[in-house]
Chains A and B, each alone.
Chain A
């Protein structure tokens, strides 16, 4: 009887563990020095920008750089997770206007909130912008080191 009860409790715990949805895994790098790489697309009403975004965890700070496929930087930024604040360190001249910076700061912050919940997408309904970050896999990044300079 005691054995049967132990078995039933074990099965019930196992089922509970299997059926409870796991917490969505954050897309942001978690530990100090960890990096995450994404293909990044920002769609706007009059065009879009695409490229690659690299994020680095530096304690409370997430440092990031987004550049186009040719390697030309769109922006460098930091996201202070404790203060919940995005700081733009450099922005490509074409986009370097106070009103664009304001939108970017806000939208990147909200994108990072979504990424914390495992979602790589944020849609800004007011300005009709879509931010879509797709994590690059190890296979995609497996380019031989001797190729690089």
Chain B
């Protein structure tokens, strides 16, 4: 019996170390920052799944994302309906088929926060701002998993946590999990990621 207990303890210890490895937080951050610096542009498909706690339901959206250093992001939903969000420095353009609006993020706090979260998450910049988030990093064999807890009031009002999954080989974000105060979760998976390809500047056109 004592032997069985010992074997089980060993098995659990081995399982634990395989699923959540200790990581050198500073080294992981440095590696991710280097990858973010080297990444002049990025484009990918994304699948977004919103889990609705109240309705025990989920809603799936799909689209394509383009990023260009330093402050350009095009987040384009193609299904279930068309919606384009373009961030170009401090300006945001939203096009939803019926309307085409340009917003200055300096004058609209909500859009400023959304734009910041989306861009800093996909690039992995979120990890750097220690005044903004408490960051914990874990790892498994293929991923680094960064759990961010917002510290600032504006962010705390929207999210209870942001979890970023990084591909260890490329140090690129592959998945973002946003958890809201009402326990709804939004999972954004980035697929077919291409970096440092030429992207037409027209895609970030605000006019």
Measured CB to CB, the residues of A under 8 A from B are: 35, 37, 39, 41, 48, 50, 52, 54, 56, 63-65, 67-73, 76, 89-90, 92-94, 136, 140-141, 143, 147-149
**Does B181 lie within 8 Å of A90, measured CB to CB?**
yes
* A residues in contact with B62, CB < 8 Å: 143, 147
When the two chains form their complex, are residues B80 and A143 in contact, meaning their CB atoms are under 8 A apart?
yes
Q: Which 7 A-B pairs have the closest CB atoms?
A: A71-B186, A93-B157, A71-B50, A140-B80, A148-B60, A147-B47, A148-B49
Contact B54 A147 (CB under 8 A): no
Where the two chains meet, the residues of B that have a C-beta atom closer than 8 Å to any C-beta of A are 47-50, 52, 54-55, 57-62, 75, 77, 79-81, 83, 85, 96, 98-99, 101, 109-110, 114, 118, 157-158, 175, 178, 180-182, 184, 186-189
Asked if A140 and B79 make an inter-chain contact with CB atoms under 8 angstroms apart, the answer reads: yes
Asked if A72 meets B57 with Cβ closer than 8 Å, knowing A39-B81, A48-B99, the reply is no
Provide the main secondary structure of the chain B interface.
strand
B77 touches A69 (CB 8 A): yes
List, in ascending order, chain B residues with CB within 8 A of A50's CB.
Answer: 83, 96, 99
Given A35-B55, A149-B189: A143 in contact with B180 (beta carbons within 8 A): no
